[in-house]
Amino acid sequence: MSIKVGTRGSRLALAQTDTVCNKLAALGIEAEKKIITTQGDTVTNVPLHEIGKQGVFVRALDDAILAGEIDCAVHSMKDIPACRPFGLFTAAVLKRDSPADFFACMGAPGAAKIIGTSSTRRKAQLLRNRQGIVIKDLRGNVDTRIRKMHAGEYDAIILAEAGLTRLGLEIPGERLPPEIFVPSPNQGTIAVVSRADPSLMEILSAVDHPVSRTDVAMERAVMEQVGAGCFTPMGIYCKAGHLIAEVLSLDGKRVLRIEKDITTIEEARVLGSELRTRAQGLIGEAYKTLGISYER
């Protein structure tokens, strides 16, 4: 059986898709790549929250699956929103790479003052943990971000460590510990989404990593209960059942954090519900500050 695999056209997206296709090929399954352009790729001059809700890198690929143009799509799992269209299924979760953020800089990390990121989470965590810095918006693929830093537009930029590894890039900087700089839910994880077709799902399940699937499912259960979208600074990280989840104010000065060992998805949902209740004020405040309507 030949499978048509959809992907974004960035170098990182293609590298991730090659990883999936190579794993399938090792099992004797032929895979053909098809590049799909998403709104997140074409609108690069504004912060992500100004484009629309979470999922700007995902919707076009979802539509292509449902239209029968492709059989499945490869995603950075952190880009996949909580609410999913009917008829789609996460058929495989690959073994997780590093979940951590990487502080890339040309000089000493402590000397960096102008730092580039478009993530409200990363901005809030940086402001909480580092003094005397200025955060400037930064969009574009990994190569574009690094080029802007080399051009002197930023002293440092924040990237996902997993993306650098997948691209084979080694740049100066330091890993930010995920216990302190709690990553986005599912960061460092590649997912394969397909039609809810039993035969297709069975084939793709051969590249699934059950331990990683369990960890990211815990994170996703918390994310779904909190429901704060990409507008609110929020980090969720689970490793071997140890869950850390936090919601921050946009300026990083206030934080509500939960840390607990759990064993079931239901426990994760309960913690997510608790965090949502406690963090309602911060979530509403973030939406209001960004000029976005918020419904509880």
Pull the structure tokens for residue 148. 């802007």
- What positions carry a catalytic annotation? 78-79, 121-122, 139, 145, 230
Spatial CB neighbours of 104, under 8 Å, sequence gap ≥ 6: 146, 149, 156, 157, 158, 159, 164, 171, 172, 173
Helix H or strand E segment including 162: helix 161-167
Here the tokens at position 51 are: 């484009």
Give the pair of three-digit tokens for residue 236: 């969720």
Name beta bridge partners: 240.
none
Adjacent-strand bridge partners of 60: none
Contact assessment for residue 169 and residue 60, using Cβ atoms and an 8 Å cutoff: no
Give the separation between CA 112 and CA 106, rounded to whole angstroms: 9
d(CA 77, CA 110): 31
Question: Do 78 and 184 contact (CB within 8 A), yes or no?
Answer: yes
Q: Please answer whether residues 259 and 244 qualify as being in contact, where contact means their C-beta atoms are separated by less than 8 angstroms.
A: yes
